[in-house]
Amino acid sequence: MPASYAVCVEDSRGRRYPEPPHPYRNAFQRDRDRVIHSRAFRRLENKTQVFTRRYSDHFRTRLTHTMEVAQISRTIAAALDLNVDLVETLALVHDIGHPPFGHAGERALDSLMRKHGEFFDHNLQALRIVEDFELRYAEFRGLNLTFEVREGIIKHSHDYTAAEHPELEEYLLGLRPPLEAQLIDLTDEIAYTTADLDDGFEARLLKLADIRKNVRAFERYFVEMEAKYPDAPDKLKFNEALKRTLNYFVTDLIENTKSRIAQSGVSTVEDVRRSPRRLVVFSPEAEQERREAKAYLYKALYESKPLLPEKLKAEKVVTETFDYLVAHPGALPPSYQEKVAHEKLVRVVCDYIAGMTDHYVQDVWKKLGAA
């Protein structure tokens, strides 16, 4: 039984286009299924998380990362008596707006758009996808998701203002998102921090001694594993320490959030919305250790020299494809050419590229002769 401060599906503000209820799935379960069956969700399989497949087929993609976020999110939501169906849906949809080539592709698109007085934001792109780009139903464009899912897409990790984004005014920008949406931002942090340590170590770009020196939470458990499994290979001791590190962050987030909820006195979703601060947070100690781990990953992995050539290649492919299509809009597919009459050309080009997989954007780049 969800807590009184959890979102109740029966109290949902509903869909943009009313639909009759399903006989055995609630509205958030239907939203989850619609996300999973969408083309944008399937494309996540071939979008880079950190490593391209040049390194290994074993490393995370956007899709496997998303699945890990969903697993962690369900666990924490259940422990906090939140609406697990809503949390799972938000976890599955949270990265659906990311372009090809991970953060390198996102930075390139944003930089290109800003030259034209626009910008690229993967949360807002996700909303555009579920509201407009997915074409699966005869009665409406998009997936017709519930208000709570659409709100969570844009508010789970960022606080937008109505002054800057009047088009988002319906999403209660002056209020906090529900706890279910607040949770996703930090489960995402837990998932990619531990996963990137794993993939970075497996790729031999992160050294065990350096991880132990720079990631205090990991070192604490690695010392225990050395004592417990003295004859085990370092890789297995690494695995044991890393899963305990993940568990540490999950447990801290559960316990600290429970404490914050109790201290705040919130008892309804409306109380949560009007809270002066977000309530789903790590303890100060765990937050500091999370920040240290993230800083280490930026320095030792994300900005490392071995990954630089691929980042530069990604930026080159995205930039040259974008510039070519802006200069030659006739090269756009017919469905996108039709949109140019109603939207800015640069936004249409951005939408086209953002939806591509790593493989497809390179194919388009070569085909157009943008290189």
**CB 222, CB 241: distance < 8 Å:** yes
Domain membership of residue 250 (yes or no) is yes
State what percent of residues in the chain have pLDDT above 70: 98
Q: Are residues 52 and 87 in the same domain?
A: yes
Query: To the nearest whole number, what is the mean pLDDT of the chain?
Result: 94
pLDDT band at 1 (very low <50, low <70, confident <90, very high): confident
The answer to whether 73 and 187 have CB atoms below 8 angstroms apart is yes
The conformation of residue 283, written as its DSSP 8-state character, comes to -
The residue written with tokens 């390179």 in the block is: 362
pLDDT class of 53 with cuts at 50, 70, 90: low
What number is the average pLDDT over the span 53-74? 86
pLDDT band at 102 (very low <50, low <70, confident <90, very high): confident
Q: Does pLDDT of 213 surpass 60? A: yes
Q: Are 138 and 167 members of one domain?
A: yes
Q: Are residues 207 and 317 in the same domain?
A: no
Which positions ≥6 away from 269 have C-beta within 8 Å?
5, 6, 7, 8, 11, 178
In a domain, 4, yes or no: no
Q: Is there a single domain that holds both residue 35 and residue 157?
A: yes
Q: Could you tell me if 148 and 6 are in contact, meaning their C-beta atoms sit under 8 angstroms apart?
A: no
Looking up residue 85, the CATH number of its domain turns out to be 1.10.3210.10
φ, ψ of residue 119 in degrees (nearest 5): -155, 170
- Distances from the Cα of 287 to the Cαs of 36, 252, 291, 306, in angstroms? 32, 9, 6, 29
Total structural domains within the chain: 2
Token pair recorded at residue 199: 């993939």
**Residue 103 to residues 100, 122, 303, 310, 314, Cα–Cα distance (Å):** 8, 10, 11, 12, 10
d(CA 333, CA 346): 14
Please determine, for residue 50, whether its predicted confidence score (pLDDT) is greater than 90: no
Per-residue model confidence (pLDDT) at position 202: 92
Q: Is the dihedral of CA 134, 137, 141, 145 positive or negative?
A: negative
User: By residue range, what is the domain housing residue 201?
Assistant: 9-308
Partners of 48 in the β-ladder: 61
Q: Do residues 225 and 348 both lie within one domain? A: no
Residues 141, 31, single domain; the answer is yes
Would 127 be classed as within a structural domain? yes
Q: State which amino acid sits at residue 101.
A: F
Token pair belonging to 325? 């299509």
Clarify whether residues 27 and 162 are in a common domain: yes
Q: Which of residues 308, 328, 344 is at a domain's end?
A: 308
Do residues 311 and 48 make contact, with C-beta atoms less than 8 angstroms apart? no
Residue 333 has pLDDT above 60, yes or no: yes
DSSP-assigned letter for residue 301: I
**Residue 88 near residue 73, CB atoms below 8 Å:** yes
Q: What is the mean pLDDT of residues 25-32?
A: 98
Determine the average pLDDT of the residues in 191-203: 95
Q: Which residue, 308, 342, 358, sits at the end of a domain?
A: 308
Residue 26 has pLDDT above 80, yes or no: yes
- The C-alpha atoms of residue 156 and residue 212 are separated, in whole angstroms, by 31
Stretch 85-109: mean pLDDT: 95
- The mean pLDDT of 112-133, rounded to a whole number, is 95
Q: Is residue 205 part of a domain?
A: yes
56 pLDDT more than 70: no
- Map residue 61 onto helix, strand or coil: strand
**Spatial CA neighbour of 156 closest among 97, 100, 115, 107:** 97
User: Cα separation of 185 and 59, whole Å?
Assistant: 22
The reply to whether 3 falls in a domain is no
Amino acid, single-letter form, for residue 52? T
Same domain, 191 and 121: yes
Please name which of 196, 155, 177 lies closest in space to residue 304, comparing C-alpha atoms.
196
> Last residue of some domain: 308, 325, 342?
308
Residue 145 belongs to some domain of the structure: yes
Q: List all residues 6 or more positions away from 239 whose beta carbon is below 8 Å from its beta carbon.
A: none
Amino acid letter, 126: A
Concatenate the DSSP letters of all residues of 99-162 into one string.
-TTHHHHHHHHHHHHHTTT----HHHHHHHIIIII----SS-SS---BHHHHHHHHHSS----T
Same-domain status, 207 and 323: no
The stretch 40-57 carries a mean pLDDT of 79
| Share of residues in the chain with pLDDT > 90 (%) | 89
pLDDT (tens digit, 9 = 90+) per residue, 162-172?
Answer: 889 999 999 99
| DSSP codes of every residue in 204-252 | TSS-HHHHHHH-HHHHHHHHHHHHH-TTS-HHHHHHHHHHHHHHHHHHH
Q: Are 302 and 325 part of one and the same domain?
A: no
Query: Is 97 strand, coil or helix?
Result: coil
pLDDT of residue 51: 66
| Token pair 């009184």: residue | 4
Per-residue model confidence as pLDDT tens digits over 238-249 = 999 999 999 999
pLDDT attached to residue 47: 87
Same domain (yes/no): 348, 220:
no
User: Is 2 part of a structural domain of the chain?
Assistant: no
Same domain, 185 and 326: no
Q: Does residue 371 surpass a pLDDT of 60?
A: no
